[in-house]
């Protein structure tokens, strides 16, 4: 069956055997709704690691769906992980973004393993996009593919990106949490300042204050 795998459940299920997850109380921010668009957000403190956020959006009676899973690790020196899946009228897009918020370069063996997952789907088209402020820190072995009837391939790619990430996490050195946390804060604050497709959408629907709180506090675990 060509069925999409929930990214939030994938990441939670992959973390839970080794790490304790404590769900955070988000109040009214846990469910935001306007103009037929519903955003549901979960956030977790991951003991010894950092912050996990899962956001799901449903719009136009299910014609458009989106999932985002963010793992902002401050306890070990690994990249910032953003997973996104979008389904718009039957066309799927999977994005696995790895941002260089590291204190030291990413180990070559881990980079090669990510690249192998990306290369395996080299026949799939990458959607064209305009330049973004974060291009300079987006690691080159990140993944961005789009097409129809690709759920099985996207599921495999998402599983493998998470598997390689967690493998790298196990071998990554512990680091200064304050210094690493500042890297995450800088990324999140720049995202709020310069925007992006999701940020712009939330800002337009719910206002600047709600968008800022959703991005900084809930998505990336930055106390605002």
Per-residue pLDDT tens for 61-95? 778 999 999 999 999 999 999 999 999 988 999 99
pTM above 0.85, yes or no: yes
- Of all residues in the chain, the percent with pLDDT exceeding 70 is 99
Residue 2: its pLDDT value, please?
Answer: 66
Residues with Cβ < 8 Å from 122, sequence gap 6 or more?
A: none
Percent of the chain with pLDDT over 90: 87
Query: Is pLDDT at 114 greater than 80 in this prediction?
Result: yes
Quick count: other Cβ atoms within 10 Å of Cβ 102? 21
Q: How far apart are CA 199 and CA 189, in angstroms?
A: 12
Residue pLDDT, tens place only, 6-48 = 999 999 999 999 999 999 999 999 999 999 999 999 999 999 9
Contact (CB, 8 A) for 74 and 180: yes
Contact residues for 151 (Cβ-Cβ < 8 A; gap 6+): 2, 3, 4, 5, 92
Q: Is the pLDDT of residue 108 over 50?
A: yes
Ordered domains of the chain (ranges, CATH)? 7-175 (3.40.1500.20)
pLDDT band per the 50, 70, 90 thresholds, residue 1: very low
pLDDT at 130: 84
User: What is the tens place of the pLDDT at every residue in 131-167?
Assistant: 889 999 999 999 999 999 999 999 999 999 999 999 9
Backbone angles phi, psi at 21, to 5 degrees: -110, 125
The position carrying tokens 């998505």 is 219
Residue 172, SS3?
coil
């Amino acid at each position: 069956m060509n069925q999409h795998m929930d990214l939030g459940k994938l990441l939670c299920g992959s973390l839970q055997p080794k790490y304790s997850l404590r769900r955070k109380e988000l109040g009214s921010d846990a469910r935001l709704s306007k103009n037929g668009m519903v955003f549901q957000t979960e956030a977790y403190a991951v003991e010894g690691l950092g912050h996990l956020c899962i956001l799901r959006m449903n719009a136009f009676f299910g014609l458009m769906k989106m999932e985002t899973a963010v793992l902002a690790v401050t306890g070990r020196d690994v990249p910032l992980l953003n997973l996104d899946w979008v389904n718009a009228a039957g066309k799927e897009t999977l994005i696995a973004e790895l941002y260089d918020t590291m204190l030291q370069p990413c180990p070559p063996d881990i980079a090669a393993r990510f690249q192998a997952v990306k290369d395996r789907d080299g026949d799939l088209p990458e959607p064209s996009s305009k330049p973004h402020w974060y291009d300079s820190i987006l690691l080159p072995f990140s993944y961005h593919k789009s097409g129809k009837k690709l759920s099985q391939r996207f599921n495999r790619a998402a599983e493998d990106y998470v598997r390689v990430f967690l493998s790298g996490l196990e071998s990554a050195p512990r680091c200064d949490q304050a210094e690493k946390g500042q890297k995450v804060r800088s990324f999140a604050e720049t995202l709020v300042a310069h925007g992006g497709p999701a940020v712009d959408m939330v800002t337009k629907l719910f206002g600047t204050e709600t968008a800022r709180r959703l991005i900084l506090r809930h998505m990336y675990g930055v106390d605002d």
